[in-house]
Amino acid sequence: MDAPIPDEFLDLMAEKFRMLADPTRLAILRALMPGERSVTQVVVETGANQANVSKHLKMLAEAGLVARRKEGLQVFYRLDDPLVEKLCKLVCETIVHQAREDVERQKKLLNRWGAKRRP
């Protein structure tokens, strides 16, 4: 069995989860999943304004989730934490699984209700 998570890790974990708790930051991370992108490309792919994207990219970089590279006047970003993509995929799979279970429960409910209403 794995050792319990040390108390000293809890604040660090909470900070990573805070970075993942914002839809704009998640959209930025999704835009970076295929590979490195310029800030302009991230703006286009997310539909957010440049100032907002830059602010969130800075936060993500400070949290160690993305890395930046400057080339002339352009700045390029890429995912820098392999956990990000894995965690996002895991959460998406869980959402899909829960949605399927919800649909099945609703079908059963409708079938029971329909059976009671038949003469």
Domain residue ranges in the chain: 1-80, 82-119
DSSP code of 5? P
How far is 19 from 23, CA to CA, in rounded Å? 10
Q: Which CATH architecture has domain 1-80?
A: Orthogonal Bundle (1.10)
Collapsing DSSP to helix, strand or coil, 2 comes out as coil
Q: What is the pLDDT of residues 39-71, one digit of tens each?
A: 999 999 999 999 999 999 999 999 999 999 999
Q: Is the pLDDT reported for residue 119 higher than 80?
A: no
Query: 38 pairs with which residues across the strands?
Result: 76
pTM of the model: 0.82
How far is 50 from 54, CA to CA, in rounded Å? 6
Task: Find out whether 57 and 42 touch, Cβ atoms under 8 Å.
Answer: yes
